[in-house]
Amino acid sequence: MASSRVALLLLAAFVALVSGQVEEVLRWQKVEYDVAPEVLQRPNGYIPIGNIPMGAVHYKNRVFVAVARRRWGIPSTLNVVDLSPPFPNANVVLKPYPSFELNELRADLQPDANRIVTVYRPRVDRCDRLWFVDTGMMEIPGNFTVVQRPSVWSIDLKTNQPIHRFEIPKEAVETGYGLTSITLDVDPTDCEKVFVYISDLQTYRMVVYDYANRRAWRFLHNYFFLNPLEGDYNIQGINFAWDDGIFSIALGNPDPVTQFRTAYFHALSSNSEFTVSTQVLRNETASQRSWHGTDFQLLGYRGNKAQSSIHAYDPETGVIFFALIQQNAVTCWDSNKPFAPQNMAIVYKNDAQIVYPNDLSIDQDGYVWFMTNSIIKLLYTQLNLDEFNFYVWRANIKQLIKGTVCDPASPANVQSVQRFGDENNNDRVTFYEYKDKHGPGGGPYGGWGHGRPGRRP
């Protein structure tokens, strides 16, 4: 018993030590916008309680913040913040990006290729472009509205001008509901060769967009489904169940010979990680197969209560960072070591401020950025706008992992992969079979989960 207490104290001290490497950059009590006063005064023009940031990505002293239209009263879905030390910057007003006109909805909610409706998690590529998916949907509880087809966009960050829009065809996805994260696969030498991988958490599919050929297709695989044994959550004493499938895709470095990458992916409601080569994903013909053989692989088990929202791969160190929603933490794993909980390290944990870490990304300066948005409180208890609810942190990756098992200079703690959840590696994983159906669905309340309606982030 005494040894256990000592171990817990040492763990707490270690987490506190590495937490010192993490810097709080932004914090908000509520989200406000730099728009004309008459916009805010319109009916449902601005309702503070529903403005929940869903994504944040850094680029050259700017942070792009996405606020999905999941409630009425959201003036702009894609926004930007100019950073200004010292940090943290508090309650910084969001500027619609690249303009309010692009973000403004038509009064009649009719389709408009020159406007965006809902953005979740934008991403920046090495060619100075901001990419995102516009789901085309107003995801209002009890009043879902498909405004327009989902589309893939890119914006030139040097000119702040949109340069590309691709409407995803119905053959690839029925609606934009569930398209909440994207991953960019850019050729190391040619900016025109891009594949975009989009997770569809609602229908358990992965959508692939071939930018060079303007084609899109989708993959279906059992590994995209939730693990029904790992869909129950307890965050800050709040119990709930989510059925979200594939949620995040992270890409390793290109193979020096083939130039293909390993794609690491997982469902939100799962403690397991899986892999597939981008050679498979880039093959539209392969997406039409009813059986994929051994192309998709189980990588291993992250550990108990290690459900992860977003994860990202650092190309310089080979380390993957995971945002752990039940542990209020960020953890890491060196991809050159066996995939097992013993070879992972918590690099930041904050039970007071992290209430659902909803986004995580790695910038071009060697920093990992992550955000929390307290959406659990909005969905299941109460969000208090007099308190700070939304945070963005950053950390230098090499400093953050130094001396941990994630450090490439450190030896592995174990030399074998842990494939499943018990010590004997028995297969305890079962997957639901999903059938296509019209409209939002997938859960007992039409995809809104148990208790008070409110779709998962």
Per-residue pLDDT tens digits for 223-246: 999 999 999 999 989 999 999 999
Q: CA angle, corner 202, sides to 197 and 136, nearest 5?
A: 70
Q: Say which residue the tokens 């299941």 belong to.
A: 380
pLDDT tens digits for 169-192? 999 999 999 999 999 999 999 999
Per-residue pLDDT averaged across 405-425, rounded?
85
pLDDT tens digits for 246-291? 999 999 999 999 999 999 999 999 999 999 999 999 999 999 999 9
pLDDT on residue 154? 98
Angstrom CA distances, 375 to 50, 245, 358, 382, stand at: 10, 18, 9, 9
Q: Place 22 in a pLDDT band, splitting at 50, 70 and 90.
A: very high
Q: Is the pLDDT of residue 4 over 80?
A: no
Rounded to whole angstroms, the Cα distance separating 96 from 80 reads 6
Rounded to whole angstroms, the Cα distance separating 25 from 22 reads 9
Q: Is the pLDDT of residue 219 over 50?
A: yes
User: What number of CA atoms fall less than 13 Å from residue 49's CA on the CB side?
Assistant: 7
The reported pTM is 0.89
- If you average pLDDT over every residue of the chain, what do you get? 90
Closest CA to 368 of 404, 405, 317: 317
Per-residue pLDDT averaged across 56-61, rounded?
97
Percentage of the residues of the chain whose pLDDT score is greater than 70: 88
Q: Is the pLDDT of residue 400 over 60?
A: yes
Rounded to whole angstroms, the Cα distance separating 228 from 140 reads 27
Rounded to whole angstroms, the Cα distance separating 111 from 107 reads 11
Domains along the sequence of the chain with CATH: 27-220 (2.120.10.30), 230-413 (2.120.10.30)
Q: Place 420 in a pLDDT band, splitting at 50, 70 and 90.
A: confident
| Residue 430 burial (CB count, 10 A) | 10
